Structure 1
Amino acid sequence: MNRFKTSKFKNTTPKIGKKDGWISNVRAGSFTSQGNHIKSSTRLVAFNTDQAGGGMLGLTSVEPGSDGRWTVTVIPCHSDLITDLDFSPFDDNLLATCSADETVKLWRVCEPEQEQPGGAEVTLCPGEGRLELVAFHPTSSGLLAVGSTKTVQLWDTSRQQSALAVLEPHGDQLQSLSWKQDGSLLASSCKDKKLRVFDPRAQLTPVQSAQGLQSNKDSRILWVKDSDHILTTGFDQMRGREVRLWDSRKLGSSLGSANLGTSNG
């Protein structure tokens, strides 16, 4: 008897929405950064746009207007490329952006039909050069993780003068950050092919670390909901798309992996 239960999603295939449900008037950017180029709250969608060299942010709503169409507005946010963005889990209208201009900004955005803010509510200057990643803490309002090339800083947005903590530097380019759902741990992936798990309340060095995916192509890390498990996605040595599952309490080796096909990149 097979001790592994067959997943009910084994043969699931994506269903593409009808064309009248597409947001078609979006000019997304094609810039290179480690962060997200699109993010959504329950009400709004923000995305990087290719206007004005990358310092502009596009904004639209999740649902169309009464005429069945989506309004898209553009907001000037930074003087250089927006490298990452994240909505607050406590406020659908509070958006954090970080940029190659070395700043993090918090914006109180409105519905796209309304007048958008003329400036940021908060501006942080971590002082670590180009910033790549920003992530709101899932359970503590106003707490941000900010990633530069090799360093992660934790900031309280109500205390704008200096970081709460600076975690031990990574060995190479930081590629992704992810908070555990209860906010107790922060995981990272890096170009040095290592996974790290930090408990920022206890120490600035990793509480767990391990060799991750062995390709130096970009990788992403994500906590599995309501568990101690971590998913990493990236590429294997043969350029195949790979997903691995890890137990954050014992990162010595992965629990399993799956190959999702070969990349043409």
Structure 2
Amino acid sequence: MSFRRGVVRQSKFRHVFAQAWKAEHCLDDVRVSRVTWDGPLCAANPKFIAVVIEAGGGGAFLVLPLAKSGRVDQNTPTVCGHAAPVLDVQWCPHDDNVIASASEDCTVKGHSKRVGILAWHPSALNILLTAGCDNVLCVWDVGTGELVYQLSDAHPDLIYSVSWNREGSILCTTCKDKALRVREKAHEGTRPMRAVFLADGKILTTGFSRMSERQLALWDTKDLSEPMVTQEMDTSNGVLLPFYDPDTNMVYLCGKGDCTIRYFEVTDESPYVHFLSLYSSKEPQRGAGFLSKRGVDVNKCEIARFYKLHERKVEPISMTVPRKDAPPILVSLSGGYTAPPSKCGTLRGRPKLLTQTNTSPTSTTAPANPMSVEMESEGLSHGQGRRDVDGGIERVKKEEDQLSDILTEIRALRALVLAQGHRIDVLERQLARIEDGEV
């Protein structure tokens, strides 16, 4: 299948864009290694970045804090100890302070020639796989230095790449004999191939066709007789380094010597590997480091980050999903609250305690003190009447206190309703963003 850039399918990652960081945030005066080995020469984790550098009299690499920027002092200590150039560095996925390096000096016990490939086990602690130019695979327990397993007769020629599946139960390799093991010929060209396991168990490979065109292919491990899809890209001779993100199911292809980074989405829909876009710059990359997902800035919608190696500079490049600015979702609160029935009924002010009556049939005017007349007509003493009046006042005060408590509760409930309404608005906006594929 030819590589096409026609109509882009609908995808929540179709608008992912790459942006290089400003110059002041790059690392300058880094003497990137000139070794001809087709490796990334860089590795990054949430704490550090490691870059293979030029070193006189042996091999070395530089380790700097991830937040470091600007000019790197030439007197900055390096990790040295190899007697020949370093070919690969890889951070341990389980401990951000542990790094492994491979070199031409054959210092890894068990190999008779230079060691150029490293792969940490994705789930088992301290298990490291190494591959050398002696066509031998070794599995090590770096905690004890013990050689756990050695595979010496499976590859008749130079091993190009190794990759664990997500569980670490299967290993795939590519070799100069054009074979992908787990098995069959992957790409017909003689140039180096690369392979990575995907989250669903499939394998994505990059390589060259018989006509020296660069290719990518997707393989189903249940049937390796032929690839599910093959895409030709161009005729450049730089090896394509695949970087896979299992969270988004995106694959980034960085060609050594290229000025571009292509990215694709892998799905279950034909043609399975969908081109999304590419990032272009003026200067070619000599290698690239891919930051683990734990290190990206999610507050800026960053889903991936590369560290592009120039001749004397390390340039961060962020892959970002753009935010979609949508109007706020408004919800009417009309009719959303009904006040509970009041125990005080239609209480309005202070009620009358006693009804005024005229006890004298011959009197034409109201007595000066109707209350005392009424109490006397009932045969009540003045003291008893006073106590009744005081009791009535106390009952009124008690009812007023109850009314005040009810009004306070009503105000608190109204405030709660407003707060919950605001929270509902926020959650509905988040739901809308998720449904639109922005998160």
TM-score (norm 2): 0.48
Distance 1:96 1:246 in 2: 30
Distance 2:119 2:71 in 1: 27
Q: Which amino acid aligns with 1:22?
A: C
Match of 1:119 in 2: none
Conserved in 1, the CA contact under 8 Å of 2:117 and 2:161?
A: yes
Match of 1:223 in 2: 197
What does 1:24-173 correspond to in 2, within 5 Å? 24-53=28-57, 55-64=59-68, 69=70, 71=72, 73=76, 74-104=78-108, 125-149=109-133, 150-166=135-151, 168-173=153-158
- Where relative contact order (Cα < 8 A, 6+ residues apart) is larger, the structure is 2
Distance 1:7 1:173 in 2: 41
Q: Deviations over 1:173-230 (max 9, x none)?
A: 1000111121111110011000003xxxxxxxxxxx1111111101111112x21111
Q: Secondary structure at the match of 1:20?
A: helix
Spell out structure 1 runs of 4+ moving beyond 6 A. Answer: none
Match of 2:406 in 1: none
Conserved in 1, the CA contact under 8 Å of 2:111 and 2:136?
A: no
Say if 2:184 is the partner of 1:194: no
Q: Secondary structure at the match of 1:211?
A: coil
Match of 1:204 in 2: none
Match of 1:183 in 2: 168
Q: 1:247 aligns with which of 209, 220, 229?
A: 220
TM-score (norm 1): 0.77
Conserved in 2, the CA contact under 8 Å of 1:48 and 1:54?
A: no
Structure ranking higher in strand proportion: 1
Distance 1:17 1:99 in 2: 31
Instruction: Give the gaps of 5 or more residues in structure 2.
Output: 1-7, 239-439
What root-mean-square deviation, in Å, do the aligned CA atoms of Structure 1 and Structure 2 show? 2.4
Structure ranking higher in helix proportion: 2
Q: Which amino acid aligns with 1:21?
A: H
Deviation at 1:129, TM superposition (A): 2.1
Conserved in 2, the CA contact under 8 Å of 1:56 and 1:77?
A: yes
* Structure ID, larger Rg: 2
Number of aligned residue pairs: give it.
227
Match of 1:211 in 2: 185
Distance 2:10 2:233 in 1: 16
Q: Aligned residues: percent identity?
A: 27
Instruction: Give the gaps of 5 or more residues in structure 1.
Output: 105-124, 198-208
